[in-house]
Chain A
């Protein structure tokens, strides 16, 4: 346990060395956010609401999706498979915390710092230029927080699971790219699932991905109310449990099959 705490502390500290990258990342997210907001505003062309979403909600959605990219590593995460290929993984296997939690510990610092620097900060700056929709009650904020933590958990399990392909093939990067493209598609990053055709969002519900981002966004925007919020959170917990189990199972199989590639 103490080992985990140390890992987490280290991962926070490491983020300081990436400060220029963080700042640049923030600028990038801001740019794309403003771009997409402009597109949406032009689309709405003065209409106050389309399909139950107001322009303010749409713009807030854009800001949220940009802000959450870094926190949830939406575009992909390949650290674990890289470590398998380089052979560094051998060192991790003898650590006290087990592979899954070791890597989770490493990701915590990165995620939280990115959440603050590229998520919260982005929302604040966005708020200066656009009208945003924010949670109205303390309770809603609480739900948002819980949902975000669950989102991160699901995101990490998913990323970890994808990386485990590295145990079976030397070519997992391509598979990874494919998998992350799929998750990007179904998590509500490109558009809120609410605005996409019904058959699409129905299909997405069979995957854990809406729970990875869409739920949190909808809770934040308030498009989910009361019982729906509870339901979404429960579904998130369910998916987290499923993915966690899958991770541990696959990890056990993978370690058994471990082929360490050098050089």
Chain B
């Protein structure tokens, strides 16, 4: 286990080093990511200023949920980038994946460490700022339980969305070309989770409850943190389902991944 971690850090430090070589790009990217993603939220803030609230959620509430989602997504993006359909597809097509199979290291670990973009840190910072604003404005009644549960929710978001990346990447074993639709679920899912779920038409809510259980990762826990009454048809206890939903998604994702690997080994490219 320790060796795996050591190898992981060795492999990503390689990338960090070569990314840092392009110093100008790095800082520009950091800035532009923060600027861009931050501006989406800024726009929302300006709008909320005019509208007052969205489905009963104030700016503070929105900042809380959006910030949480952004932080989770950006961490996930840094960790699971290797499975991102675009880069994984490239690895397979260019033979880099085969090269990985030639090394005496667990293949999943190699894919994890195959792409690490340090510039995504910008998005995390932006998310953290928004989250900070949210915490300040939303007037949350903090309890010990809430403080303990918060990091769990964050990890659940990372794990749950990461599972989606893994599944998207696994599809590459069959399609070779990246399946664009996966981006809808991941990037789209992130944006979706940044708003209270109850504003969406019923069918979208259902899709993201029963098919891709994003509702458990961010929205329902938020109800708990913000002391909001339960909506939809979920009992309050479901606010604590985040880690279970994430664990389930991750489990299914890696089963699918193993299946894909076996398929790849029996059919090649």
Contact = CB atoms under 8 A, between A and B. Distances in A.
Chain A directly contacts chain B within the complex, with at least one CB pair under 8 Å = yes
Interface of A: 20-21, 24-25, 27-28, 31-32, 34-35, 38-39, 41-45, 50-51, 169, 171, 173-175, 177-178, 180-182, 184-185, 190-191, 195-197
Contacts, number: 94
Interface in B197-227: 199-201, 204
A175 B32 CA distance: 9
B32 to A, nearest CB: 4
Contacts of A195: 46-47, 50
Contacts of B54: 39, 42-43, 45
A221 B209 CA distance: 36
Q: Nearest 6 pairs between A and B by C-beta?
A: A174-B25, A24-B180, A42-B199, A181-B32, A174-B28, A178-B32
B184 A31 contact: yes
A32 B188 contact: yes
A69 to B, nearest CB: 13
B104 to A, nearest CB: 30
A190 B39 contact: yes
Given A32-B191, A174-B29, A38 B201 contact: yes
B183 A35 contact: no
Contacts of B183: 28
Contacts of B184: 27-28, 31
B159 to A, nearest CB: 23
B55 A177 contact: no
Given A39-B199, A43-B48, A171-B24, 15 more contacts: A20-B180, A31-B184, A38-B204, A39-B54, A39-B195, A43-B47, A43-B51, A50-B50, A173-B25, A180-B32, A181-B32, A181-B33, A185-B39, A190-B40, A191-B46
A56 B142 CA distance: 41
Identify the interface centre among A20, A41, A173, A177: most chain B CB within 10 Å of its CB: A177
A123 to B, nearest CB: 19
